[in-house]
Amino acid sequence: MSIEIKQPLNALPVNTCFQSPHEEILKEAANNAAENWRTWQDDFTHHLISESGDFKNLPVFQSLPRFYGFGFDYSIFRLYERSKLNELRTFLGGIENPASHEILHKKLANWAIKNELCIIAKKGDKKGKILQSNHISLVSKLLGLWKPSKYPMWDTLARDGMKCVMTNSKVSRYDGSKVSNYENFRSDFETLAAGWAADIQRIAKVESFGGCADCSVYRTLDNYLMLLGRQKRVIKS
């Protein structure tokens, strides 16, 4: 069971991380997750309410403005050529149900190279690690839209939050440029979700997530880790 932490966030020492949910962060995460669910509800519930809830039929692929909105909301297109985004949308909207994150990532990475999707690598990214990390993040967020109770969304803030909570894990376990490390993150996320489910469901209202209890846990935990990662950065700065 969680141990209540009574210190205000701005009074926490630099190296403080939480082995159990911090009440105030959890409340904010639940609110953020519910708001995000309302914005992308048609995608999040696509596989739950539609007999043809295939990946390629996600609403996000059916409209270029919606696809642009997704990229802006999730900060995921910044390294991609804007003129190529409609082609990317068409490509993704033609993919049959991907069996795993790794499979979809491989398809995206190969297509991106052939179609010159990416802006020329930034200085300091000669090995393409930043672009690789961006691909991993994009794939996780698309899969998270498609199956929100199965795939956690991966980005630098969520990884920082997870490193903070899973103190027994090596930092390299969540290296953002290694595709296989998404599964490390996902495995630890599932462990955390199972252990914190009662705490999360006490705060997050399941009706705000289409009645899907697992969705409420996954989406709230996802937002919690991002908030924790952001708070960690603020404290360090």
Domain-embedded: residue 55: yes
Question: What is the pLDDT averaged over residues 61-67?
Answer: 97
CA angle 103–109–112, rounded 5-degree value: 140
Whether the pLDDT of residue 208 is over 60: the answer is yes
**pLDDT of amino acid 236:** 61
Residue 225, sorted as left (phi over 0), alpha (psi -120 to 50) or beta, turns out to be alpha
Whether the pLDDT of residue 12 is over 50: the answer is no
Domain-embedded: residue 232: yes
Residue 210, sorted as left (phi over 0), alpha (psi -120 to 50) or beta, turns out to be left
**pLDDT of amino acid 59:** 97
Domain-embedded: residue 25: yes
User: Residues for the chain: how many in total?
Assistant: 237
Predicted model pTM = 0.87
Residue located via tokens 């490193």: 163
Domain-embedded: residue 133: yes
Task: List C-alpha distances in Å: 104 to 56, 66, 133, 135, 219.
Answer: 12, 21, 14, 10, 21
Domain-embedded: residue 76: yes
Whether residue 40 contacts residue 47, with contact meaning beta carbons closer than 8 Å, is answered with: no
In the chain the first and final C-alpha atoms are separated, in Å, by 31
Cα 63 to chain centroid, rounded = 22
The better pLDDT of the pair 175, 161 is held by 161
Q: What percent of the chain is predicted at pLDDT more than 70?
A: 83
**pLDDT of amino acid 14:** 39
Can you give the residue range of the structural domain that contains 159?
9-236
**pLDDT of amino acid 3:** 28
Q: Grade residue 75 by pLDDT with cuts at 50, 70 and 90.
A: very high
Domain-embedded: residue 4: no
Domain-embedded: residue 172: yes
Q: What percent of the chain is predicted at pLDDT more than 90?
A: 62
**pLDDT of amino acid 220:** 98
Domain-embedded: residue 179: yes
Those residues with Cβ within 8 angstroms of residue 211's Cβ, 6 or more apart along the chain or in another chain: none
pLDDT digits (tens, 9 = 90+) for 119-173: 755 555 555 677 888 999 999 999 999 999 999 999 989 988 888 888 665 556 7
Whether residue 201 contacts residue 30, with contact meaning beta carbons closer than 8 Å, is answered with: no
Whether the pLDDT of residue 37 is over 60: the answer is yes
Q: Grade residue 210 by pLDDT with cuts at 50, 70 and 90.
A: very high
Number of structural domains found in the chain: 1
Nearest by Cα to 55 from 81, 87, 91: 91
**pLDDT of amino acid 121:** 55
pLDDT digits (tens, 9 = 90+) for 178-194: 888 899 999 999 999 99
pLDDT digits (tens, 9 = 90+) for 102-115: 999 999 999 999 99
